[in-house]
Amino acid sequence: MALENSWIFPVVESIHVIGLAAFVGTIVLEDLHTLGFAIPETRNLKMWTHAGLATMLLTGAVMFFSDAARYLHNPAFHVKITLLVVALAAHFTLHRRGTRFAAVLSLALWTCVVLAARAIIDFDV
């Protein structure tokens, strides 16, 4: 693929990881706070959570459409997208209640999304 062989792909990938640090990074802080860990209130980081999510969705789409067929043949990609849909649905519903259960579920789901995403590289053909 043209995009894969240029410097653009690694840069888009990097921005995706920067978005990850902002998005999952702030959610983890919020969840650990909910669970009673010595983590400060993170309400004013909401902006970073949403900016991170927007960045990830945009760069993720760019990477996907650079070689859609290749991603669709990758089993790790299927697992990642399935987990992502569940994690996003939980994030915008259950997670809002701020319960301990929602926090544990959120930590588990986002951890699995990251692991499945990283595995896309390993299952690439």
| Contact positions vs other proteins (CB under 8 A) | 10-11, 13-14, 17-18, 20-22, 24-29, 38-40, 42, 45, 48, 110-111, 114-115, 118-119, 121-122
Q: What is the rounded end-to-end Cα distance, in angstroms, of the chain?
A: 13
Nearer to other proteins, 10 or 98 (CB): 10
Q: Residues in the chain, how many?
A: 125
Nearer to other proteins, 102 or 117 (CB): 117
Sign of CA dihedral 62, 19, 92, 31: positive
Contact 35, 103 (CB under 8 A): yes
Q: How far is the CB of 68 from other proteins (least distance, A)?
A: 21
Q: How far is the CB of 10 from other proteins (least distance, A)?
A: 5
Q: How far is the CB of 85 from other proteins (least distance, A)?
A: 18
Q: Please, what's the b/e burial string for 77-107 (b: 16 or more CB within 10 A of its CB; e: otherwise)? A: bebbbebbeebbebbeeebeeeeeebbebbb
Q: How far is the CB of 115 from other proteins (least distance, A)?
A: 5
